[in-house]
Chain A
Amino acid sequence: QKEVEQNSGPLSVPEGAIASLNCTYSDRGSQSFFWYRQYSGKSPELIMFIYSNGDKEDGRFTAQLNKASQYVSLLIRDSQPSDSATYLCAVNQGGGFKTIFGAGTRLFVKA
């Protein structure tokens, strides 16, 4: 079983729609959860982090965490073509130094 699982996609949404990206993790002791955006050929860029159950909003982005279900998601409202990228879910296990990354979901926003 992979430690951090994401649908590889591609997830295709029209411009202006809400994109919903999902991630599950296996370690119940995980405490910190991150979403990174990675454009093709570039390095990951942190866009959101969440530590507590519930929702966290930052501009067009909302991260949702449900520790009981071991599930974290990212919503992108008013999707733009510039949001087209791979979104990596990352989970820090137990407060240590190891952060496990998922393989990412490719998002394509059609103009």
Chain B
Amino acid sequence: DAMVIQNPRYQVTQFGKPVTLSCSQTLNHNVMYWYQQKSSQAPKLLFHYYDKDFNNEADTPDNFQSRRPNTSFCFLDIRSPGLGDAAMYLCATSTRTSGVKDEQFFGPGTRLTVL
């Protein structure tokens, strides 16, 4: 089945210790997104890739970086996690050919705990 996979599902890190979250997809979608979602809040877009083009949201902290080495994989790097970065991190994909459709398909998420 075509899908979006995130690893690990749960990640515990220490304050200030770098962490990398990964996302892979078998949908062959050209757009990949990273969202941060805290409890009872809306998913917040951090950045997205349209093919190789990287687009950072203006309010995404510099502490968050991303890499997309190929169509299938995308990584979220948190360089120095703070307690406020504890959240669910969601990877999503969509296919953008023409028009305004932007139906996004989400992976299961990675729950990040910062000690």
Contacts and interface: CB of A to CB of B under 8 A. Distances in A.
Interface of A: 4, 8, 31-32, 34, 36, 41-46, 49, 51, 88, 90, 92, 95, 97-104
A8 B41 CA distance: 10
Given A45-B106, A97-B48, A97-B96, A32 B101 contact: yes
Contacts of A41: 111
A45 B49 CA distance: 21
5 contacts: A4-B42, A45-B106, A49-B101, A51-B100, A103-B41
Contact of B102 (A32, A36, A88, A102): A32
Interface of B: 31, 33, 40-45, 48, 50, 55, 57, 88, 90, 96, 99-109, 111
A111 to B, nearest CB: 24
B40 A8 contact: yes
Given A8-B40, A98-B45, A42 B109 contact: yes
Given A97-B50, A104-B42, A92 B100 contact: yes
Contact of A99 (B45, B50, B88, B107): B45
B103 A101 contact: no
Given A44-B43, A44-B90, A92 B108 contact: no
Contact of B40 (A36, A92, A103): A103
